[in-house]
């Protein structure tokens, strides 16, 4: 296990914050983890703001030993199991989303929250500020249904923002990906 890059405080809403600017920059440049508070389009080390991590990133980084998570005024250490409980309480479908996030990260992609695209993740080949995210990803469990209107909605959105829509289906021990690319004949 690698040495922790940053000490992170868990907030009541399950987000995590790196107060140290130096540690935040180091974590961000280690793999484009998190987002500097109040900075819409950060450039690698050109920001002077605390770094905010979402629960999925926090669990991933804690599992990898790249962060230490603390809570409260007493700065009590938060274990991986405790952080997973917090994430499950605040994020619907956490386990499936975490599996997809981890799988994409292990494949070398940079994965960011996709809320502004109406999906679970925006996926970059190189990183924000370096390239545009070519993919948006929606996560579904193996037993979840997908309606025709959801497919049409996803297609319209992906076409509007010029991205490939990827459906990530988590079932058993694997994640399967189905890409939708729309074209005009």
Specify the pLDDT at position 57. 95
- Residue at token pair 């959105």: 157
The rounded radius of gyration (Å) of the Cα atoms in the chain is 17
Q: Among 8-12, 48-52, 127-131, 134-138, whose mean pLDDT is lowest?
A: 127-131
Specify the pLDDT at position 61. 96
- Residue at token pair 């703001």: 49
Could you tell me the two tokens for 174? Answer: 């694997």
Q: Is 178 helix (H, G, I), strand (E, B) or coil?
A: strand
pLDDT tens by residue, 56-109: 999 999 999 999 999 887 889 999 999 999 999 999 999 999 999 999 999 999
- Residue at token pair 């700065």: 75
Q: Is 5 helix (H, G, I), strand (E, B) or coil?
A: coil
Q: What's the sign of the alpha-carbon dihedral 80, 82, 83, 87?
A: positive
Residue 2 vs residue 87, higher pLDDT: 87
pLDDT tens by residue, 144-181: 887 888 877 777 777 777 888 898 999 888 999 988 77
Q: Is the pLDDT of residue 1 over 50?
A: no
Specify the pLDDT at position 16. 94
User: Residue ranges per domain, the chain?
Assistant: 1-89, 92-185
Q: Is the pLDDT of residue 39 over 50?
A: yes
Residue 83 vs residue 41, higher pLDDT: 83
Write phi, then psi, for 56 (nearest 5 degrees).
-65, -45
Residue 142 DSSP label: T
In this structure, are residues 38 and 49 in contact, taking their beta carbons and an 8 Å threshold? yes
Which are the catalytic amino acids?
124, 132, 163
Mean pLDDT of 34-61: 85
For the domain made up of 1-89, give the CATH fold: MutS, DNA mismatch repair protein, domain I (3.40.1170)
Are 1-89 and 92-185 equal in CATH topology? Answer: no
Specify the pLDDT at position 43. 66
* Burial (0-12, 13-18, 19+ Cβ within 10 Å), 1: exposed
Specify the pLDDT at position 38. 83
Chain-centroid distance of CA 132 in Å reads 16
CATH entry, 92-185, from 3.40.1350.10, 3.20.20.70, 3.40.30.10, 1.10.3720.10 = 3.40.1350.10
What confidence tier does 10 reach under pLDDT thresholds 50, 70, 90? confident
């Amino acid at each position: 296990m690698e040495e922790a890059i940053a000490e992170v405080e868990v907030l009541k809403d399950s987000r995590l914050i790196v107060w140290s600017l130096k540690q935040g920059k180091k974590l961000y440049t280690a793999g484009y983890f998190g987002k500097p508070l109040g900075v819409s389009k950060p450039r690698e080390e050109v920001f002077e703001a605390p770094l905010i991590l979402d629960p999925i990133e926090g669990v991933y980084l804690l599992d990898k030993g790249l962060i230490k998570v603390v809570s409260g005024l007493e700065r009590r250490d938060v274990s991986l199991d405790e952080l997973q409980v917090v994430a499950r309480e605040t994020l619907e479908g956490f386990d499936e989303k975490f599996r997809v996030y981890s799988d994409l990260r292990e494949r070398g992609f940079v994965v960011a929250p996709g809320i502004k695209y109406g999906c679970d993740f925006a996926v970059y080949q190189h990183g924000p500020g370096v390239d545009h995210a070519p993919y948006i990803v929606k996560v579904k469990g193996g037993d979840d249904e997908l309606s025709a209107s959801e497919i049409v909605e996803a297609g319209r959105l992906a076409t509007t923002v010029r991205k490939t829509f990827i459906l990530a289906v988590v079932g058993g021990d694997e994640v399967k990906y189905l890409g939708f690319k729309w074209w005009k004949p």
